């Protein structure tokens, strides 16, 4: 079986400092993530981006625009020698009660089935409570990063690990 790092996009991989008023773009947190992502890949983990994208449901972005942002992020990471194996996102708003939106584990479970991933040997990394809860609900280990909104959730959620940013994963893995 494979092992994976499921990583949230906004606030974890890319800047979301203007959230919720500014839609996160494809501006990668280069100094905080590249070395850690390379280390994860070197250790044999799949890298899968898992993200809630309620901007679609809120009619602030069209799905094609969200797709373009994801493709740009993946392309920029590839230029830095980081290969993203896949990505998945939930286009729904929290008020819709869908089963795929984090903290529900459906996106992780679907990717685990698609790639034959052992969730107990895998990690969910994010900057919000919904990321950590999705990982726990899927049976993965969890890592809260303090980039993005992470500092707001240190006392509110019980992650297996709390780190400054993705680069700090080099000390854990």
Cβ-Cβ contacts under 8 Å for 173 (sequence gap 6 or more): 39, 40, 43, 45
**pLDDT of 85-135, one tens digit each?**
999 999 999 899 899 999 999 999 999 999 999 999 999 999 999 999 999
Catalytic residue among 10, 35, 127, 129: 10
- Domains of the chain plus CATH, in order, are 4-148+156-171 (3.40.50.1000)
**pLDDT of 24-44, one tens digit each?**
889 999 999 999 999 999 999
Task: Confirm whether 8 is a catalytic residue.
Answer: yes
- Which of 39, 73, 23 lies closest to 165, judged by CA? 39
Task: Confirm whether 160 is a catalytic residue.
Answer: no
């Amino acid at each position: 079986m494979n092992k994976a790092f499921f990583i949230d996009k906004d606030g974890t991989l890319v800047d979301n400092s203007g959230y919720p008023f500014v839609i996160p773009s494809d501006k990668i947190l280069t100094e905080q993530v590249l070395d850690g992502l390379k280390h994860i890949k070197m250790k044999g983990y799949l890298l899968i981006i898992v993200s809630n994208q309620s901007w679609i449901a809120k009619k602030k972005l069209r799905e094609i625009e969200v797709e373009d942002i994801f493709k740009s992020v993946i392309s920029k990471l590839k230029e830095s020698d980081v290969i993203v194996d896949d990505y998945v996102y939930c286009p729904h708003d929290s008020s819709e009660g869908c089963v795929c939106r984090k903290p529900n584990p459906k996106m992780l479970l679907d990717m685990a089935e698609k790639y034959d991933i052992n969730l107990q040997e895998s990690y969910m990394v994010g900057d919000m409570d919904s990321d950590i809860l999705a990982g726990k609900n899927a049976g993965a280990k969890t890592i809260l990063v303090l980039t993005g909104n992470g500092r707001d959730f240190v006392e509110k959620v019980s992650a297996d690990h709390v780190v400054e940013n993705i680069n700090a994963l080099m000390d854990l893995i």
